[in-house]
């Protein structure tokens, strides 16, 4: 009862304080179509029969194009870093930094930042391709100059993070044989910390709202603009379900563990590659970075498969809390239509794109009918 009152109060707060979000995107023809779905259809039909067929065709094209762009980005990054190491340019950069900069810590930081810059520049074309895919399909109205601004901003952030990782880890390696123990706990702590901090680092179109119990939830412009109050209630209850089950910490630890396992695998391979005459632990960060980009292609499917079950439990919690499974289904169908999300993702999309199960499977679990997916 207490949670039901809290959810209702949060809905009133959202509707009262997010007028800007409503103005950003008014309900459109897709919203009208979803609004006209009957309660009986929502509770008895599979998601494949509820979503807009044309949008699903677009979602399938988008998924195929996005997988290609994602894989190319990793391959371009790996190729650039591999060439940097094999050509001797990494060693030359290391020597140049040591001649011009006093202090090994700063040298390590600048070298790590330089590797991040090389990787980001190498993946610029695939990144721009992914932006153009979403722009062409009408999923973003962001102008190219703003996209470039955020790309530069994210590049600077990546350089700072990579520089700190290089300086801290190599500093530990130089001081203790137990450096890997400190690194392991550091990765797990950073993963948990980021799971909380990221809630406040909102992307455009998402708004943080504090629930009456102190929980922070994030609501999108699209959901606020087109959804009914019952759908907003489900969306809030869904996020509260993740909190009630402690999913935030569990997911952070899983992701941290995957980083540790696959990172160790990349280092293991790098240690077995022949050293160049001008190699040292600093210059070989380039080959470690190249292997990490390749290993990431194997790590992402493992992460996605591991995290996929959490949405089912959050859906069940939200439906039990709100007592309105039809609103839950309507919200998921609206999401599929507006964001061009596949109801029945193919294998490649499941491997590389989605940490959540397909909406077809989620709707089937809510209304207890076959998913309609092949």
pLDDT at 149: 95
**% of the chain surpassing 90 pLDDT:** 46
Of the pLDDT bands very low, low, confident and very high (cuts 50, 70, 90), residue 59 is very high
Q: Are the C-beta atoms of residues 151 and 126 closer than 8 Å to each other?
A: no
Q: Rounded mean pLDDT of 53-71?
A: 93
What DSSP element (H or E) covers 185? helix 179-197
104's CB contacts (< 8 A; 6+ apart) are 98
DSSP for residue 27: -
What's the pLDDT at 40?
A: 93
pLDDT tens digits, residue range 273-321? 877 777 888 888 999 999 999 999 999 999 999 888 889 999 999 999 9
Indicate the SS3 state at residue 330: helix
Residue 209 φ then ψ, to 5°: -135, 130
Residue 152 has a pLDDT of 95
pLDDT over 60 (residue 206) = no
What pLDDT score was predicted for residue 201? 55
SS3 (DSSP) at 266: helix
Which of helix, strand or coil describes residue 207? strand
The shares of helix, strand and coil residues in the chain, as percent rounded to the nearest 5, are 75, 5, 20
Distance of CA 369 to the CA centre of its chain: 30
Mean pLDDT of the chain: 84
What average pLDDT score do residues 77-106 get?
92
Cβ contacts of 143 within 8 Å, gap of 6 or more: none
Q: How far apart are CA 55 and CA 259, in angstroms?
A: 35
Question: How much is the pLDDT for 218?
Answer: 62
**Structure confidence at residue 365 (pLDDT):** 93
**φ/ψ of residue 208, rounded to 5:** -80, 135
Residue 125 has pLDDT above 80, yes or no: yes
- The residue extents of the domains of the chain are 2-367
Q: Is the dihedral of CA 7, 338, 341, 148 positive or negative?
A: negative
143 class by beta-carbon count within 10 Å (0-12 exposed, 13-18 middle, 19+ buried):
exposed
């Amino acid at each position: 009862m207490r949670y039901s009152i809290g959810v209702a109060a949060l809905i009133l707060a959202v509707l009262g304080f997010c007028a800007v979000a409503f103005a950003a995107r008014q309900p459109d023809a897709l919203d009208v179509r979803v609004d006209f779905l009957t309660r009986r259809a929502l509770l008895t039909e599979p998601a494949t029969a509820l979503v807009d067929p044309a949008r699903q065709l677009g979602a399938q094209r988008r998924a195929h194009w996005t997988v290609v762009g994602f894989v190319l980005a990793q391959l371009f990054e790996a190729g650039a870093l591999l060439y940097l190491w094999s050509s001797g340019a990494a060693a030359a950069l290391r020597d140049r930094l040591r001649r011009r900069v006093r202090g090994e810590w700063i040298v390590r930081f600048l070298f790590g930042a330089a590797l991040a810059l090389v990787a980001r520049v190498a993946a610029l074309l695939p990144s721009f391709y992914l932006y153009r895919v979403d722009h062409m399909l009408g999923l973003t109205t962001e102008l190219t100059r703003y996209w470039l601004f955020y790309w530069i901003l994210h590049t600077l952030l990546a350089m700072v993070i990579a520089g700190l990782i290089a300086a801290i880890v190599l500093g530990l390696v130089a001081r203790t044989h137990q450096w890997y123990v400190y690194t392991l706990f550091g990765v797990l702590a950073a993963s948990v910390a980021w799971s909380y901090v990221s809630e406040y680092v909102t992307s455009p179109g998402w708004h943080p709202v504090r629930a009456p119990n102190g929980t922070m939830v994030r609501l999108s412009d699209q959901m606020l603009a087109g959804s009914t109050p019952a759908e907003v209630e489900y969306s809030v209850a869904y996020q509260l379900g993740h909190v009630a089950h402690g999913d935030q910490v569990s997911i952070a630890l899983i992701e941290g563990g995957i980083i540790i396992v696959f990172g160790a695998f990349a280092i293991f391979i790098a240690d077995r590659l022949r050293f160049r005459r001008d190699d040292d632990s600093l210059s070989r960060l380039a080959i470690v970075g190249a292997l990490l980009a390749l290993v990431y292609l194997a790590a992402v499917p493992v992460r996605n498969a591991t995290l996929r079950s959490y949405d089912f439990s959050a859906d069940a919690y939200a439906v039990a809390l709100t007592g309105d499974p039809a609103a839950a289904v309507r919200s998921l169908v609206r999401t599929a239509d507006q964001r061009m999300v596949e109801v029945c993702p193919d294998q490649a999309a499941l491997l590389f794109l989605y940490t959540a199960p397909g909406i077809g499977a989620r709707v089937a679990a809510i209304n207890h009918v076959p998913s309609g997916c092949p």
